[in-house]
Structure 1
Amino acid sequence: MEYLKNKHIALFFSYKVSLNVWEDLGMITRESRIWGILWKNFNKVSFITYGNKNEEVFGKHFPSIKLLNNKWNLNPATYSIFLPFLYKKELMNIDLYKVNQVSGALPAIISKILYKKKLIIRCGFQLSLFLKKQKENIIKIFLALVLERISFYMADVIIVTSIKDREYIGAYHKVNFHKIKVISNGIDTELFNILEGIKKERGRILFVGRLIRQKNLFSLLEAVKGLKEIHLVIIGKGYLKEALAQKSKEYRVNVTFIERIKNEELPIEYNRSELFILPSLFEGNPKVLLEAMACGLPVICTDVDGMNTIVQHGVNGMLCQSHDESMKNSILELLNNEGLRKKLGQNARDTIVSKFSLDMVAEQEIFCYEHL
């Protein structure tokens, strides 16, 4: 790791994302833990964000990291193009550029071309595939494909969260497989843990995530409709909030909506629940699933890419189909079998500790940087 001790790394935030957005999404403490491990291996770390001077109040979470933001209050699209010129002096003195999602890659690519630095592209999901599944317009999908193709071509290393993503990028985008590394999302297994003294609430089913079509929440409401002694807790926000609230009233389902919660408070919510469910139509490498499993919570998720490589049915969780009848059967099977809940919960915890711990993932990422 001595090689990195003299290096300066910069994280280019995803398009339109700032520390304010991280705070609003309850992500800021999670990211501070990740970078708290990573920054110790570097001489300097910088964050390049789409925020303005107002976000500097959140700098206290990252005391050793330099903030470079949109202090000119430019339009985000304009800022993303001119950022490499506005911060020319700073970027010339940075050794490694990192991007967490392809949507933030454009200024990093321009900077790499101008200043001849190493570029790391990390992808939690394939943007173009997600847009296709969300049935976005063809122009958006085409632009995402172009950005992906350029990003993967220009990257010195590409980090993805699954073998299937590696195979897709290598085959579809004609990228050398040697520069595509598979590293999962990491979980703080000390924070996300089985908490003593917190009593499980009978019938409490937890969902955490955005309230969007991808998450298939109307099917979840159909699944729990008519079930007695069920308390569905939905944590997150999104454009479907009002429609879901209306449907839950129509179905007479006992639902509590919690719009926002800090990441460090989530372990309590997981530990209060009897099971966690993620009924998504498609996923990348969902952190909330890993967090729930780390807390020893039995999980139910749909049998789709991104989740069926983490959850082994009947071993560390349950896989179901995306329709309500399959979900309902899985929910009833778990709620009516305490022994099964305990077994799946403990195995889930063991899976995360052995394969997805934050320290382990950070170590894998550092290894990639050392060999650039």
Structure 2
Amino acid sequence: MKVFPIYDKFKRYNNKYLRLLLTFFLPFRIKKYTKDIDIIQQHQLAGVWVSLMIKFLNKKPFFIRTGYDTYQFSLNENKPYLLILFYKFMTYCSLKYSDVYSVTSSSDMKFLEQNFKTKSKKLVLRPNWVEDSKISTSERFPNKILSVGRLEKQKNYELLIKELKNTKGTLILDIVGEGSLLKDLQKLADKNSVEVNFLGIVNNENLMLMYQKYNYYISTSGFEGNPKTILEAMVSGCIVVASDIPNHAELIENGLNGFLFDLKNPNLQELLKSLKSNSLIKNISNQAAETIKSSHSINKISADYMNDYKTLI
């Protein structure tokens, strides 16, 4: 693999609209650097026209990997209509002209098949991976809950804080992440008498160590792709409590390797109380880790990708 930093060769303009315009000329400007490549690979949908143009200019196979479906997210986030159409068109072009199109969840695959009437063999399931993590035998926080994610509407932290109303002094919620809703969530926590520590950004190495210190991990997301934070929490032996949405239900079998709750009727305080008296918690923790190790290990996923590459060369 050879890394080619674009802005080592070309000037990076501060104006984002000018940078966008120049992307349409970029494939021609870098053609001499890309003529000997074997495979073009793109991560996510943004700027996919650059990779597609390079594919046609160099007549090379194109592999696109999507961690989540941008078009589906735009619908869920009620983006402007023209932007939704743009994402839909980019998804259509990628499905039509890519040689391999990978998604990270069965839910995303089903969405594409239904909305684009495709059952192409080029559409493959390649989940996110995590590194194996030895479960710590040391004591975990008895009264702390961990949640990780951007402080944005999708993650639904407003619901989580309201569900933990009046737990200050008995329960602490630690949230890793940054976002535009920080001040609003701080005010909401104060109003509802919930002790919340907003920990900001934590690098992945330290985050993997943090999971080992918590018994419980909670996700109240309204929609997801293949959430890596849940994979990391499960492989670290956390008891994951997550909203019952399709992408969570692919990972969690309720009561076996984690717990799912209805977003319309969460009752999280009651659920958390019941978990403390559940004699099977240790088994559920172990089952969570084994589930992820068997299906999302870096060795398994990298082997699948290698097989994909071999079909293209």
Within the candidate set 72, 78, 82, 1:129 is matched to 72
How far is the alpha carbon of 1:340 from its aligned partner? 3.4
1:151 aligns with 2:94: yes
* Cα separation, partners in 2 of 1:95 and 1:48, compared to 1, 3 Å: farther
- Match of 2:106? 163
CA distance in 1, matches of 2:134, 2:75: 36
CA distance in 1, matches of 2:4, 2:224: 27
Normalising by structure 1, report the TM-score. 0.79
What RMSD in Å do the two structures reach over aligned CA positions?
Answer: 1.7
Normalising by structure 2, report the TM-score. 0.93
Q: Once the two structures are aligned, what percentage of the paired residues are identical?
A: 27
| Alignment length (residue pairs) | 307
CA distance in 2, matches of 1:164, 1:249: 37
One-letter amino acid of the counterpart of residue 155, structure 2:
K
- Match of 1:349? 289
One-letter amino acid of the counterpart of residue 87, structure 2:
A
* Cα separation, partners in 2 of 1:324 and 1:249, compared to 1, 3 Å: farther
1:73 aligns with 2:30: no
Gaps of 5+ in 2: none
SS in 2 for 1:292: helix
- Match of 2:141? 201
CA distance in 2, matches of 1:175, 1:323: 33
* Cα separation, partners in 2 of 1:291 and 1:204, compared to 1, 3 Å: same
Matches within 5 A, 1:72-151: 72-74=11-13, 75=16, 76-151=19-94
Name which of structure 1's ranges 221-230 and 307-316 shifts more when overlaid on structure 2: 221-230
Matches within 5 A, 1:217-232: 217-227=157-167, 229-232=170-173
Work out whether residues 222 and 324 of structure 1, in 8 Å CA contact, stay in contact via their aligned partners in 2: no
Within the candidate set 200, 205, 222, 1:264 is matched to 205
Name which of structure 1's ranges 95-104 and 211-220 shifts more when overlaid on structure 2: 95-104
Work out whether residues 39 and 61 of structure 2, in 8 Å CA contact, stay in contact via their aligned partners in 1: yes
Q: CA deviation digits over 1:227-264, x for unaligned, max 9?
A: 35111000001111111011111112111011111101
CA distance in 2, matches of 1:104, 1:300: 35
- Match of 1:58? none
* Cα separation, partners in 2 of 1:230 and 1:322, compared to 1, 3 Å: same
CA distance in 2, matches of 1:235, 1:143: 32
One-letter amino acid of the counterpart of residue 209, structure 1:
G
- Match of 2:247? 306
Work out whether residues 106 and 250 of structure 2, in 8 Å CA contact, stay in contact via their aligned partners in 1: no
SS in 1 for 2:3: strand
Name which of structure 1's ranges 97-106 and 166-175 shifts more when overlaid on structure 2: 166-175
Work out whether residues 42 and 51 of structure 2, in 8 Å CA contact, stay in contact via their aligned partners in 1: yes
Matches within 5 A, 1:220-369: 220-227=160-167, 229-323=170-264, 325-334=266-275, 336-337=276-277, 339-369=279-309
CA distance in 1, matches of 2:135, 2:234: 10
How far is the alpha carbon of 1:156 from its aligned partner? 0.3
Work out whether residues 216 and 322 of structure 1, in 8 Å CA contact, stay in contact via their aligned partners in 2: no
- Match of 1:46? 3
Q: CA deviation digits over 1:66-120, x for unaligned, max 9?
A: xxx7x41134313422221221111112111111111131210111111111101
How far is the alpha carbon of 1:136 from its aligned partner? 1.0
CA distance in 2, matches of 1:47, 1:341: 48
Work out whether residues 237 and 286 of structure 2, in 8 Å CA contact, stay in contact via their aligned partners in 1: yes
* Cα separation, partners in 2 of 1:330 and 1:81, compared to 1, 3 Å: farther
How far is the alpha carbon of 1:307 from its aligned partner? 0.9
Q: CA deviation digits over 1:303-354, x for unaligned, max 9?
A: 11211011000000000012464333322222x2263332221110010111
SS in 2 for 1:371: helix
One-letter amino acid of the counterpart of residue 167, structure 1:
K
CA distance in 1, matches of 2:269, 2:4: 44
CA distance in 1, matches of 2:265, 2:134: 30
One-letter amino acid of the counterpart of residue 269, structure 1:
M
